[in-house]
Structure 1
């Protein structure tokens, strides 16, 4: 997630159709209330007031330790903290615009000086009061340094204190089409990590398109140019929303987006291949489902890692997921003579969401800790090869029942974003899962959502998720070990599901296991 659009996927509609960066873009509106910070009175409390008195006296100093302006490593973001208020700014070498996040400190800092900021959000057009979708925590970590963590995001972002906001942050941005172009081009130039891998000369892109933009360029003309600049990236984490029906979202060539009709056909094909008399149980507004299959094989389908409740807040998503996992991974299914002999996890239609939810599922599938992946962000405006220090993200076994037997993972081109980071997170599990189907979409980064001077919004990736040996799967996606068709018209017409059939045969010992690529 980015700081501006905290959830990777927040589109309304059926779960199978909610595809990160591909469907209708939903704008999250960040609201905040601010109030003056009033220090608690310490009158009558001296050095001998006792531990409680000393802790209370220390609170204003702890809060003040975070006061000021901070530059974030990577992400092109400045964070300003004043009193109880937090605000972000989107910065490049040519611009500084108000960011999409404002927060309010929730209570006093803890004993370590950590402050929690609520960030009320609500979907555009949604009735009712905004809610705290996922709080931010800012922690001092040394002289002039702090860390920022987002509840529904993995890893921690490093902050460095700077003297003040740049002067341009207080200036009214120009809406001239040339200024809009410059901010758009510069944001990609300073943050996008994959130009070399995609064989795109971004400087040449500017030289080609910048002369076409003048003060009289219309909105339609400007949108067409911006779209033409990023369309060759074929990146499902790139998008532009320019109002009045002007929307663009990238995708890998050959990706066919589902329709309500094709999604219904897919559901029928899956049900037919689960077999007669098999009942699927559903949770999280239908985004999680499970069925016990003959031969003590489990089938667990995950179509999204977000919006598990009507409210859509992260805490609610965690609670809903945990309830589902408690129902699936019972002692009876994980221990003893009736335990599962194999588990099929189906992510072939998964539009992404919050990466930590995937880690919670992975923790139910292991009896030992292991590395899920390491995460890093591009961290130099003119050197695409320079990144932040990789942060290792580890899986720790759940404290209750866990399943440690054979697993197959079904994937395809509509396994997107958090669906892919989950797939990557279980690759280090023992025994290693067997991936069946087609390569995933190839987009792992959180989306860095940005606003242009004319009010348009756009997004791009800026991170890499590394394997233990330093590889990434951005672009081509995670390959399967066993290739099969995935919801092709021919398969759907025949209500056939080759990937599921192959997974069940493998887990039942009737198919050879392919060598992992």
Structure 2
């Protein structure tokens, strides 16, 4: 029961930020189901609910003036979609998507403009020797240097408390632990909780979240804390050194996890800056049935710093893994972590 209440605490903090801003600024009936009506509805919904205009320095009114001129009578749905998607890309936000029956817009430059610094095939072949355990979505193994390796590819996959007990019990004889979340594009924030709970020994305020309180770009509630709790008695916990491996493709929930890890005692974050994605998404519908998703509730770390543009590694631990070296069987980020933890 105690663990359930702790879980509910986190869920309520997340849901509060999602539910409170859902008051519509406009009704669908206010717009015609034509190209201009769809465009105006999309622009208004973003204007009312999107949370990063000021942080990103985007003049949304100026953007409207430029793109509305391109909305023409008789344009096809595909043409309308392309104009709207191009406008949304001005926000440089991977959480902003327009979904239609024939396409989904997605801003990819948050990761495509950067090196990948990771190839799991290289890790599997040269470090795990294609011989490792898997439970749920976790791959894990004891490396020759007596360091535990744990790979978690997506926070979309829930990990049961029992699964974590098995994994950590198996790795308990190791001197240290590597948690590899490179390439983890996010998922559910609630799936962060089980991992964090095994690495902390007292309640930890790891960040803050706000929600929109009005249509103005700066209309936000006061920040309220997101608190993590230690695992309940009887669960297997980890008290030895930890290194978390990151790259630019860590996004959304993975980005938040790395932010929490940066503040967790005994944990070093190593690799490349994450991709960001610090806003809780909100979705709405347009007159023609398309779905619009956007960042609506901004999140920060415990010091109040925005996590939207990514999290840097622990100072002194930025490491990159060039593609040429990965192709040759060497992962410089993983090598550095093993070397550090073997000292």
Is TM more than 0.5 here? yes
1:271 alignment counterpart = 124
For 1:241-289, what per-residue CA distance to the aligned partner results, in whole angstroms no more than 9, with x for missing partners?
Answer: 2233x3320123552699xxx99x923211244255x8321122xx211
Distance of aligned partners of 1:155 and 1:296 in 2 relative to their CA distance in 1, 3 Å threshold? farther
Distance 1:410 1:254 in 2: 16
Which is greater in Rg?
A: 1
Question: Is the Cα–Cα contact under 8 Å of residues 207 and 304 in structure 2 kept in the other structure?
Answer: no
Distance 1:255 1:186 in 2: 29
**Higher strand proportion, which one?**
1
Distance of aligned partners of 1:467 and 1:254 in 2 relative to their CA distance in 1, 3 Å threshold? closer
Residue of structure 1 aligned with 2:251, choices 416, 420, 433: 416
1:329 alignment counterpart = 168
2:138 alignment counterpart = 288
Residue of structure 2 aligned with 1:394, choices 208, 215, 227: 227
Q: Give, in angstroms, the shift of residue 420 of structure 1.
A: 1.0
2:5 alignment counterpart = none
Distance of aligned partners of 1:253 and 1:275 in 2 relative to their CA distance in 1, 3 Å threshold? closer
Question: Is the Cα–Cα contact under 8 Å of residues 145 and 338 in structure 2 kept in the other structure?
Answer: no
1:72 alignment counterpart = none
Indicate the SS of the match to 1:193.
coil
Taking structure 2 as the reference length, what is the TM-score of the superposition?
Answer: 0.86
Distance 1:170 1:238 in 2: 20
Compare relative contact order (CA 8 Å, sep 6+) and give the higher one, 1 or 2: 2
Q: 5 Å matches for 1:104-503?
A: 154-157=14-17, 171=29, 174-244=32-102, 246-253=103-110, 255=112, 266-274=119-127, 279-284=131-136, 287-306=137-156, 308=157, 317=158, 320-330=159-169, 333-334=171-172, 339-382=173-216, 384-399=217-232, 400-431=235-266, 433-475=267-309, 477-481=310-314, 482-486=317-321, 488-503=322-337
Distance 1:296 1:305 in 2: 27
Distance of aligned partners of 1:340 and 1:379 in 2 relative to their CA distance in 1, 3 Å threshold? farther
Question: Is the Cα–Cα contact under 8 Å of residues 268 and 495 in structure 1 kept in the other structure?
Answer: no
1:123 alignment counterpart = none
Q: Give, in angstroms, the shift of residue 490 of structure 1.
A: 1.0
Distance of aligned partners of 1:181 and 1:469 in 2 relative to their CA distance in 1, 3 Å threshold? same
Runs of 4+ in 1 over 4 A off after TM superposition: 149-153, 157-160, 168-173
For 1:85-139, what per-residue CA distance to the aligned partner results, in whole angstroms no more than 9, with x for missing partners?
Answer: xxxxxxxxxxxxxxxxxxxxxxxxxxxxxxxxxxxxxxxxxxxxxxxxxxxx9xx
Q: Give, in angstroms, the shift of residue 155 of structure 1.
A: 4.9
Question: Is the Cα–Cα contact under 8 Å of residues 207 and 300 in structure 2 kept in the other structure?
Answer: yes
Q: Give, in angstroms, the shift of residue 401 of structure 1.
A: 2.3
Distance of aligned partners of 1:152 and 1:280 in 2 relative to their CA distance in 1, 3 Å threshold? farther
For 1:129-157, what per-residue CA distance to the aligned partner results, in whole angstroms no more than 9, with x for missing partners?
Answer: xxxxxxxx9xxxxxxxxxxx995983524
Structure 2 residue runs of 5 or longer lacking an equivalent are: 1-7
Q: Give, in angstroms, the shift of residue 411 of structure 1.
A: 0.7
For 1:194-237, what per-residue CA distance to the aligned partner results, in whole angstroms no more than 9, with x for missing partners?
Answer: 22332321100111122332443321221121112121222111
Aligned length: 330
Distance of aligned partners of 1:254 and 1:443 in 2 relative to their CA distance in 1, 3 Å threshold? closer
Indicate the SS of the match to 1:462.
strand
Indicate the SS of the match to 2:192.
helix
Cα RMSD (Å) = 3.0
For 1:379-431, what per-residue CA distance to the aligned partner results, in whole angstroms no more than 9, with x for missing partners?
Answer: 3312x233223221112111222102211111111111111111112222222
Question: Is the Cα–Cα contact under 8 Å of residues 352 and 418 in structure 1 kept in the other structure?
Answer: yes
Question: Is the Cα–Cα contact under 8 Å of residues 281 and 295 in structure 2 kept in the other structure?
Answer: yes
Question: Is the Cα–Cα contact under 8 Å of residues 190 and 380 in structure 1 kept in the other structure?
Answer: yes
Question: Is the Cα–Cα contact under 8 Å of residues 28 and 287 in structure 2 kept in the other structure?
Answer: no
Question: Is the Cα–Cα contact under 8 Å of residues 351 and 418 in structure 1 kept in the other structure?
Answer: yes
**Higher helix proportion, which one?**
2
Taking structure 1 as the reference length, what is the TM-score of the superposition?
Answer: 0.58
Q: Give, in angstroms, the shift of residue 466 of structure 1.
A: 1.4
